[in-house]
Structure 1
């Protein structure tokens, strides 16, 4: 009887956690959609700039015909829903519809909010940052935004052309259209916005937990590893290596530290072995003990 009650309690707790996670996901997608829409309307559209991908196509149609951007974006994606359903199944399509619908509704609801400025560079920078943060949140919470994502994935599976090349060619096409229709200056400022937008999305998806991965080859690996544990409160891994020229066995120490701890780590190595060979690599995101937890 006791075991049954415990099992029921664990089941209720698990169901509660699942419900909280689901609600958080929908709230995150909604928040991201509105941040994206606000950045696009307030800075990009208000100053006649554009974007890459299907959003750029929707903006061009909006400028030429006056149609609502969100509605146009959703209509452009409709044929791709059927391709996604046929190629990758119901789950993929439902996530895509969710992402596209949330962004489209947010764009139309925030239409008319804008800051007209003579400094198009500031508009491109702030518009790129805000829209990048918003779309990054939408993607991070599990929704997809269709458009070029579906086209690139489909072409990649059919022909083997890399998705990166397809994204580049599509954005180049959109920017060429902007330059032809609205002038080279608008296209160049749009390019700035697209660049900032892409970088911010990468940061949101991959995380801000920048760290340094350090490889240390030294005769004093045991002393260095102990100092890292005591002084930096970090773990480390000792690997076994062999010198290619000498054929001698060597200890190789692998450790990940925050960028603020890198200088202290260098000092530790220098004090223990001034002749140590040290390699430092950038790490975008670290999950685990001492860093951000997974999930």
Structure 2
């Protein structure tokens, strides 16, 4: 039986449950914050594109790279062309991928990137004492990847995409099971190869470098620096090991029984999450308690909760 103040939570659809559990004003605030992040990220990506890619024909994949190739033959507004190419892709994505929120966020990103690109193309040369900033191709390639990737990372972090080849890549992954990262690589490398034929293979190589740097930077912005390590320890002394780890490292430990498939002997496995700076102490403690222990240390991106990590903040009740 339900209490007087207990609410029945819908079971069909996680989004319905989320709307039911979190106050509406918080959802609206989060949505507006996400869209603001998408606009800011699009502006930054457009700045990197106009400042470092366009002047040197560094077509680092995507529709933005394709536009650089097209602009070599047809001098047309960069922002307008980006928007026109993305419109059929967004419609295709709507029918193939669904999700109004995904399509809306992508549309905001595409429109923002298009508008800011045209603004920067028009006003940057007049506003800056020197445009482009540098004539060094390698330097421009590095900053093209860093600045564009940082902007793209802000867009991804806000739950959107920058449009372009990300839509056919997702559709390819959905219908064929092809890994998403490889789908991106196929579509982007096809455009880089085209740029190699049109411009030069040296610029195609630089575009590949910008693409890789952009991916690394966007991942960094999306997930942050990995400061957390997870440790799994198989030992014959679980109580001594867990107590030592908790006392010395001030970290929580979980334990459960396991059986070796080959030896068929029972052991205990301990699971512990530590910060990267504690890995050396962790290895020393494990070896001191049980030199025959089996230790595996892996990377983790983020950790939330007690025992010295950031606490998750629950939604405030209205």
State how far apart, in whole Å, the 2-side matches of 1:141 and 1:82 are.
21
Is structure 2 residue 109 aligned with structure 1 residue 99? Answer: yes
Q: Indicate the residue corresponding to 1:140 in structure 2.
A: 157
- What is the CA–CA distance in structure 1 between the aligned matches of 2:305 and 2:67, rounded to whole Å? 41
Distance 1:143 1:176 in 2: 27
Partner of 1:44: 53
Structure-1 residue corresponding to 2:77: 68
Q: Is the 8 A contact 2:42 2:112 kept in 1?
A: yes
Contact 1:84 1:92 in 2 (8 A): no
Q: Is the 8 A contact 1:209 1:292 kept in 2?
A: no
Change in 2 beyond 3 A, CA 1:70/1:288? farther
Residue matched to 2:188: 171
| 177-186 or 93-102, larger mean C-alpha shift | 93-102
Once residues 311 and 54 of structure 2 are traced to their aligned partners in structure 1, the CA distance between those partners, rounded to angstroms, is: 38
The residue aligned with 2:119 is 109
1:251 corresponds in structure 2 to 268
2:37 aligned with 1:25: no
User: Which one of 255, 266, 270 corresponds to residue 287 of structure 2?
Assistant: 270
Structure 2 counterpart SS, 1:65: coil
Distance verdict in 2 for CA 1:219–1:160, change over 3 Å: closer
User: Unpaired segments of 5 or more residues in structure 2?
Assistant: 6-19, 126-130, 314-318
Question: Per-residue CA shift, 1:226-252, capped at 9, x if unaligned?
Answer: 222222221121121112333221111
More helix by share: 1
State the alpha-carbon separation in 2 of the partners of residues 86 and 253 from structure 1: 47
Contact 1:99 1:143 in 2 (8 A): yes
Structure 1 residue 174, shift from structure 2 partner: 0.9
CA distance in 2, matches of 1:14, 1:89: 22
1:262, distance to aligned residue in structure 2 (A): 0.6
User: What CA deviation, in whole Å up to 9, does each residue of 1:115-168 have, x standing for no partner?
Assistant: 342432221112101111101111110222222222123334444444444322
* Counterpart-to-counterpart distance in 2, 1:158 and 1:170: 15
Distance 1:249-1:164 versus aligned 2 partners, 3 A rule: same
**Which residue of 2 is the match for residue 79 of structure 1?**
88
Q: Hey, what does 1:8 align to over in structure 2?
A: none
1:286 aligned residue: 303
Q: Deviations over 1:250-279 (max 9, x none)?
A: 111111211111111111112212222111
